[in-house]
Amino acid sequence: MRSLLLVAAGFLVITAFGNHPAPGSQGQRLGVTVGLAGIVVGSVGLLVSGLNTRASRTASAAQALVFVAAIVLSSALLAGLQPSGAGDVGVFMAVSAGGFRLPVRVSASVAVLAVAAIALALGLPGGHSVGAIVSTELGVVAFYVVSRSARRLQESNERSRLLVRELEETRAAQAQSAVLAERQRLAREMHDVLAHSLSGLALNLESARLLAESTGADDKVSDSIDRAHQLARTGLDEARRAIGMLRDDALPGPERLSALATELEASGGVACSFIVEGDERDLGPEGWMTLYRVTQEAVTNIRKHSNAERAEVRLTYEPDGTRLTVDDFVPASGPPVLSDGSGYGLTGMRERAELLGGTLTARPTESGFHVELWVPR
């Protein structure tokens, strides 16, 4: 519509100079000049008002009405002054623009104005025949009907797009609801089976410890029961924490990574430091869960398989991502590190990292073992 409006305005200006009377500054020539100026100003104003996205719908319609009416009256004036000219083309384009841009009642009023103005202009003495006037009027009506049909088609397409968007949002909400329902089901199963079993195991081990103490059992037996009891309590805490995360009760953040480092030092006897560098950012549920599980796996491996004298957990917030490193340091006289980082636990963590678009590397170093996780921002 904008392109056709510009083409029509340019066509009217060019043809006006080749018809009689040509544009000038006196008499009918001045009228032709005024008509051309109105067409140009109205066309440019209509285009500019259509590009102004900040204006309200009511203000935009009011501006469009003024410019469309200016084009209609100017084109009718040009058609009346130049009977052999193409002034009626401007009326056609103005009616089309009004039908497309304006509300139905306002655009219908513009169409009526155009019919009356072009009938008056073409009906002047020495103008067009009755047949030419009637055909022009029918052309005005036809252009208006076509433009209104285009407007309804555009509105229908817009409604269809909105319905499709609402349908997609509804499906996404249904999928999210299904995921939450499944997580709730898993949380219930874990609570009813795993948590209860671990609670029972912890109680039985506590009873066994008391029984060993009362019967004067060997200290090694009591120590073994204590370690088993501690593992059962730790497993129960992890199960409860996993249930809470499934229910979105809590997600592991930097404080949980620090707690893992403290736990390694308390239960494994390995001095472990936790260092955070950069400005903290939200990594989302999957990101935090992956960082937590990688740290947990690395710390567990240090406690089980390493003779390290110290360890270091470092969390670095980089501009394009987040990096987690876990290093252990064995004494120079300690046994060599035999693991190559291909165990099932780290393999699972590597798969978690890949799902986030990140990477995980695990390899022995000269001083111990190095685990590094990187996830993009």
The confidence score (pLDDT) of residue 317 equals 92
Across the chain, mean pLDDT equals: 83
Determine if the pTM surpasses 0.85: no
Q: Identify whether the C-beta of residue 13 lies closer than 8 Å to the C-beta of residue 40.
A: yes
Q: Which long-range contacts (C-beta less than 8 Å, at least 24 apart) are formed by 25-32?
A: 28/81, 31/77, 31/81, 32/78, 32/81, 32/82
**Residue percentage of the chain with pLDDT more than 70:** 89
Q: pLDDT tens across 52-87, in order?
A: 656 667 778 888 889 999 999 999 999 888 888 888
Q: pLDDT tens across 234-280, in order?
A: 777 777 766 666 665 555 667 778 888 888 888 778 889 999 998 88
The residues, ordered by sequence, that sit 6+ positions from 250 with a Cβ below 8 Å of its Cβ are 241, 244
- What gap in Å lies between CA 112 and CA 324, rounded to an integer? 74
CATH architecture of 251-377: 2-Layer Sandwich (3.30)
The residues, ordered by sequence, that sit 6+ positions from 20 with a Cβ below 8 Å of its Cβ are 82, 84
Residue 83, classed as helix, strand or coil, is: coil
**Residue 362 backbone phi and psi in degrees, to 5:** -140, 125
| Residue range 282-310: mean pLDDT, rounded | 83
The confidence score (pLDDT) of residue 62 equals 86
Q: Where are the alpha helices (DSSP H) in the chain?
A: 2-16, 27-51, 57-81, 87-101, 104-122, 130-189, 196-214, 219-246, 254-268, 284-305, 344-355
CA 310 to the chain's CA centroid? 44
The residues, ordered by sequence, that sit 6+ positions from 77 with a Cβ below 8 Å of its Cβ are 31, 34, 35, 38, 87, 121
- What gap in Å lies between CA 37 and CA 23, rounded to an integer? 10
Residue recorded with tokens 């992890």: 238
| Residue range 290-301: mean pLDDT, rounded | 86
Q: pLDDT tens across 160-219, in order?
A: 999 999 998 888 888 877 877 777 777 777 766 676 777 778 788 888 878 887 887 777
Residue 283, classed as helix, strand or coil, is: coil
Strands 368-376 and 321-329: antiparallel
Residue 125, classed as helix, strand or coil, is: coil
360 in the Ramachandran plot: left (φ > 0), alpha (ψ -120 to 50) or beta?
beta
